[in-house]
Amino acid sequence: MQHIIEKFPDEIVRKATKIKAIITDVDGVLTDGGIIYDGGEAELKKFNVKDGQIVKPLRENGIIVAAITGRDSAVVKRRLKELNFDYHVHGKLDKLNYFDEILETFQLKEEEVCYLGDDLTDIACLLKAGLGVSPADALTYVAAEADFITSKNGGEGVLREVADLILAAQNKLEKILIQFKSQEV
């Protein structure tokens, strides 16, 4: 999958080869950051199906998928359970504590973690991760702390872009494509 990784700087590809876990923020990364309330108690969010589609192949290829989100949202809990994330915690603004908990729980080193974030509460995790990534529309002072900025805005396939990079850098994406071509999924 050389054509996928050739658009990334060599240093980013090198970091991607070491990744064993992706930890992501939710609002502004897996969603566009918008929150819609109806007239009652319902909260609505829009997720990109391309992000969801890659979670199972990531997990099947040994990549842990986790989320740390500052909001406590039933919609987000439902989506992350549906996708079978390995770990997710909600309503936590002290994300670095949970980043460290993930490292300990899954026996990971910092350089083995890719963190995706777009706002103030993500900065410490972006700096600590082996590969810190921000969406194209992240706040500029947050994106300045990331190793890499995606071509996608939040909610438009940020996780998918990063997952494809990691899987291609680790020579795992071709196998996934072959499985889907032959319907052995």
Residues 50-82 pLDDT 10s: 999 999 999 999 999 999 999 999 999 999 999
Query: Per the annotation, does 27 bind a ligand?
Result: yes
Average pLDDT score over residue span 16-40: 94
With cut-offs at 50, 70 and 90, classify the pLDDT of residue 181. Answer: confident
Long-range Cβ contact pairs of 51-57 (< 8 A, separation 24 or more): 51/157, 51/158, 51/159, 51/160, 52/79, 52/82, 52/83, 53/160, 54/159, 54/160, 54/163, 54/164, 55/83, 55/84, 55/85, 55/159, 56/83, 56/84, 57/163, 57/167, 57/176
pLDDT value, residue 185: 55
**Number of Cβ within a 10 Å radius of residue 93:** 11
Among candidate residues 126, 120, 97, the one with its CA nearest the CA of residue 24 = 126
Q: In whole angstroms, what is the distance from residue 136 CA to residue 152 CA? A: 6
Query: Per the annotation, does 25 bind a ligand?
Result: yes
Q: Which residue has the tokens 């909600």?
A: 90
Evaluate if residue 98 carries a pLDDT over 90. yes
Evaluate if residue 41 carries a pLDDT over 90. no
User: Is the Cα dihedral 170, 176, 181, 184 positive or negative?
Assistant: positive
Among candidate residues 104, 114, 12, the one with its CA nearest the CA of residue 66 = 114
pLDDT value, residue 184: 61
Q: In whole angstroms, what is the distance from residue 34 CA to residue 155 CA? A: 9
Q: What percent of the chain has pLDDT over 90?
A: 86
Whether residue 169 contacts residue 61, with contact meaning beta carbons closer than 8 Å, is answered with: no
